[in-house]
Each structure stands twice: as C-alpha cells, then as structure tokens.
Amino acid sequence: MEKLRSFILSLYPTTKFLFTALLMMTPLLLPGYIYSYLVPVLCLIIAMAAGKTKLYVDFVLKGLVPIVVMIFLLQSFFYPGENILWSWSIFSIKQEGIEFSLQLTSKILAVGSAIVLFFQITKINDLSRALEIAGVSPKATYVLSSALTIIPEMRLHLLRIMDAQRTRGVETEGNLSIRIKAFVPALTPLILSSFSSTDEKAITLESRAFTARTKKTSLHHLEKTKSDHVVRAILLIVVVSILIWRFLL
C-alpha cells in the first residue's frame, strides 16, 4: 500500500490533471448515469490508496453532497412531465423529473469528486511549478496559487483568533446565537490580519525580484518519470477507445 501511495503522490501534476480531466470527461461522453455514480467511488478508492480518505470524504459529504441533493429534489419536483409518481398540493414528483435528476446530479457528482480528488493528491506549489515549466507566466501561477490557498489561510487565522478568544474566557461553542456572537467580533482581526499578510507577501515578492524582467529560477525541482509516460499512454488509449466506441460504433 505504501508503494501505491508513493506512486500516486509522486506523479507529475499535469499527469494527475490529465487523469482528472478523463474522469470529468467520460461521464459527459458515456450514456446513462450508472458510470457517473461510480466515478466518486473510484475517486474514493484512489484517495484511500493515497492516504487522503478523511479529507476527500469531508469535502464530498460536506460540500458536494448537499448541493447534489438540493438539485435532485428541485428537479424532481419542478421538471415538466406527464407520468406523475407522487403528488401533494402543488408539488408532484414525475418520472421524467427523476430521470433528468439522476442524469444531472450524476454528472455534477462525478465532476466535483474528480476535482476534489485532484486537489487532495496534488500540492499547489507543485501545480504552480509545473505550469511555469509549461510556459505559463509566474504572475499567473502566483495568482492561481494565492486564490487556491487564501481560504485555508483565512480559516487557520480564524481558528487562531477563536482560540485566543477562548483563552480570554469568551464562549465560542454552543447554540447558533452563541457562535454568531463569537464569530462577529473575530471578523475585524481576521480582516486586519489578511491585509497585513497581503502586505508582507508583496514585500517578500519584491525582495525576491518577482517583477524583474529576467529569466526566473526556482529551487523547487519537478521532473517527469517513466511512470508519468506510462500513465499518459494509458490515458490516451482509454480516451481514443471511448471516442471510437461513442461516435463510431
């Protein structure tokens, strides 16, 4: 299992992205919804092999599943159709709505699960460096990495502020009203610390000649291995096979 974990995590970032793109593309190409619902299961197996099970499950269950359930219910009740399976007052569930909901939510769940898996098994710094090697501007990669890390950074800042309030005797846990009362005063130091960190990042970038119009170098080394070439070849064969089966046969 350790070898499999190391194999998955050591793949080149763009190789992982190509695999993620395949997981996102195939549900849109293949008919039906059974395969689409199997994609999250496949992503879970890969996450387990990579040692990212808890993080993957938390993101999917807390972020993705509620959205999918809401869309499923809305489409089931309001999608037009003639075969009514259940009705009450102005609400009715139709067979056409159920079928459309299964098709739609399966695609959303498959695409969302693949994206969650990609960011669980890929480090943001590795992704940014791979894009720079591919020819993307360092400014663009910095904007990308900053956008992807700003929410986790603010969450850590908020946790530290809440811990500091707790040490001062402020009640931060309990019912919803207590949590709101504790959360609102934490916004001011959170916003101020965010401005301060932004200022520090700007100074750090200038000290490293980030805006200088010269060729940039990096201590972060990435290199494609034989495993990457093998995986990419397999992905290409799978994509070609699916396209031939879907459009020619």
Distance CA 65, CA 74 (A): 14
* pLDDT for the residue 211: 66
Phi, psi of 232 (to 5 degrees): -65, -40
Cα 26 off chain centre by: 18
Q: Which of 167-171, 218-222, 243-247 has the lowest mean pLDDT?
A: 167-171
Sorted by sequence, the CB contacts under 8 Å of residue 229 that are 6+ apart come out as none
Q: Residue type at 164?
A: A
Give SS3 for 61.
helix
Distance CA 179, CA 175 (A): 6
Which pTM was predicted?
A: 0.76
Q: What is the pLDDT of residues 166-215, one digit of tens each?
A: 777 666 676 666 667 666 677 777 777 766 666 666 666 666 666 666 67
Distance CA 35, CA 140 (A): 35
